[in-house]
Structure 1
Amino acid sequence: MNILSLYRQFFDSVCYFPKLPIKSFLIFLLTLVHFGFSVDVFAAETATENPTVATEVTPKVAKPPELSTYKLEVGDSFVVTVDGYSEYSKERIPVPVQQDGYVSYPLIGLIKVAGLTVSELEAQMQSAFSKHLPAARVFVTLMRPKRTILVFGAVEPRARGNLHVFEIGQVYLLQALASAGINYEAADLTDISIWRTGKLYKRIDYLQLMSSGGPDIPLKDYDTIYIPSIFQQRPVRVIGAVVAPGVYPIMTPQVPATQILKIAGGSRSDFADLHKSEILTSKERILVNLAAENVNAMLGPGDTLYVPLAEAKISVIGAVEKPGQYIITEPVLLGQAIAMAGGFNEERANPKKCLLTRADGTEEALDFDQVHSEVYLNPKDQLRVRERTRLDWRVITFATSFVNLLVTVLVRYR
């Protein structure tokens, strides 16, 4: 029974009783309050003993699936934590997979990582570290891999050009087409072509692929997808390492390739490889040397002029794990350049004393901790990481002994 109803019954009926002395009335009132409090406590204990009453079941939230089956490729990067040995951890600067599929890591040397899953790489590094540090525990975390796909032809124009960068492990044809945005009014969807390493890889009938329900076509890094148009007369397209890639109308059946390059603002001088430029038509791919004096190549309506990126190089030397020259396709940050060289040599490097020599010979003294995300390296730049000043106590001891001996001889025979 609710304590409030007891109170109400009490006060409704108190008027029927003869007047009681004040002391007796207070004792009766305190007894009633104590009784009400005991009823509430009993009800609370009963609810606790019976958990099926007024109990909500919270649904379990499933954890997102891990990227456990993805295999590392050239260009991927990862961070490493060696528990208990921070000097061997690479948590601040990711470790990139080099062109040969290997990485160089302190204490354990070269490791073949291309083709391994994260779990396999972690197990392999754990085994290698255990030979030197039995108590070490190794954890590997994959950074988001990037895949670059070129889609051109009958697609919607984009301000940033036709190179699409996907931060996922595996890219498929339908993903690339959806990202590019097909121009359905002009596209010939029955003859889409995929080019790989300069050769025709496969022709796809998009309509048949969709009606049959797949399977989708997996793509590789730097694959090129061409979507032809159903119209005969259409403008030319310029893509790649030019100042202003895009679509440009032409008024004549044939236009020189050099003129189209000028219309697009010219090439990006530091990164364009004019010797390996290409003219892409609906039937073939023509190699053109736009750096030559006399270029006779012509473009017609619907053709595409592609100026590839040059293999520009930078040098990273000094107290790093893997000094040498590295290929870049765009300006890279100071931190990225150090990561390409395998990171600092923890025993010898002095990050506060970096020297950047530009291609024109000018030099800049840099503190890595302050400018690692601000300063960019361009082609032909050289970055030197200076070593810490270390004292050779053997030389100092020998010099001290020699001086003492010389002083002793001079004092004795003076």
Structure 2
Amino acid sequence: MSDLFAAAGLERQAPRPLADRLRPKQLADVVGQDHLVGPDGTLTRMLRSGTVGSLVLWGPPGTGKTTVARLLAGATDLAFEQVSAIHTGVADLKKLFDGARGRRAMGKGTLLFVDEIHRFNKAQQDSFLPVMEDGTVTLVGATTENPSFELNAALLSRAQVLVFRPLGAEAIDSLLRRAEAAEKRPLPLDETARAVLVRMADGDGRASLTLAEEVWRAAGPGEVFDAERLQAVLQRRAPIYDKSEDGHYNLISALHKSVRGSDPDATLYYLCRMLDAGEDPLFVARRLVRMAVEDIGLADPQALVICNAARDAYHFLGSPEGELALAQAAIYLATAPKSNAAYLAYKSALRTARENGSLVPPRTILNAPTRLMKQEGYGAGYRYDHDEPDAFSGQDYFPEALGRQNFYRPTPRGFERILGERLDRWAQLRRERQGRG
């Protein structure tokens, strides 16, 4: 049979998925990202000049990152190269760079799209720097992880980060209407079931079109699914809340306040609601880390260690086993002594630093690497604390024009009680050694 197709000059091709067939042909067709591609969007403004710089596209799956990268290449007349960080090594990148140099010599630029760029290690990320700097490639990386944590600072300094948002209900419904127009038939869903399908997509445009295909395959002639039948057929439950709407923020707020209020039972309830609703467990892990540094702080320094360990355990175990590590960390936070003293100290110190950022530290604590600096008194009179009684000299370290400040005021709870006693002892020694005892 394949010979007959070949003789007729035809090729047998597998049907393309709906999401691929409906991939936007121009930036204006991208839904849900008006802040980037709308009439006054960031990318729209960039493209008015006819060029774009290197970019990092950060956002959840199915929000249009790959599509936008392809369209940017077309809009700027660049050759488009796409790789995945999972399957690409340094040797592969070198070949791509050599190809881009060859094109550049012929007057053609290259847009290199790197999917899941956060999966590249430091050496691989560093390999992009010279070709970004000399214009060999315009790098566009896509990531679902926070670039601040996952990408090198040197790479980030050479690229602009653009945030892609989860698609709202209106954007998902717009995609479904496009699918119905392309298929020339309506989805066999009643009004409630259609709303459930939108929620099932969970802000992921690609997922919404995949679900639509599944619905059409499953429906018999003349059959219309209600919400219950839809969930049974797709074997998928709609999230309890839409992560892009108020439910997401309401529940994370409730979780945070339950931890702060030392209620482990309410903490577990809201944690389980979020995980059961399909919340990204790593988002929950990040919030637990924030709670550890904001609400427990140095009252229990182990809280931060345990939250980071829980995050790593989730990475190692995956779902659902790893979710138990998050639950354990949440219980620990809720039952730990509470202190926001470090949080308040940081805010106070930051405000003072901004107001007094031009003051010079005392010369006694400045290094003197040159003879001239020694002659100018740099480092003169500095006392090495380890050589002093109690390993404490009692010197002043603030700029003279500012005087001593007191930002950190530990609470009498948990480990901070010990820190408070230690600071009181040092304050007494400072007064004695500065002749103010």
TM band (smaller chain): under 0.3
TM-score, with length taken from structure 2: 0.25
Higher helix share goes to which structure?
A: 2
Higher strand share goes to which structure?
A: 1
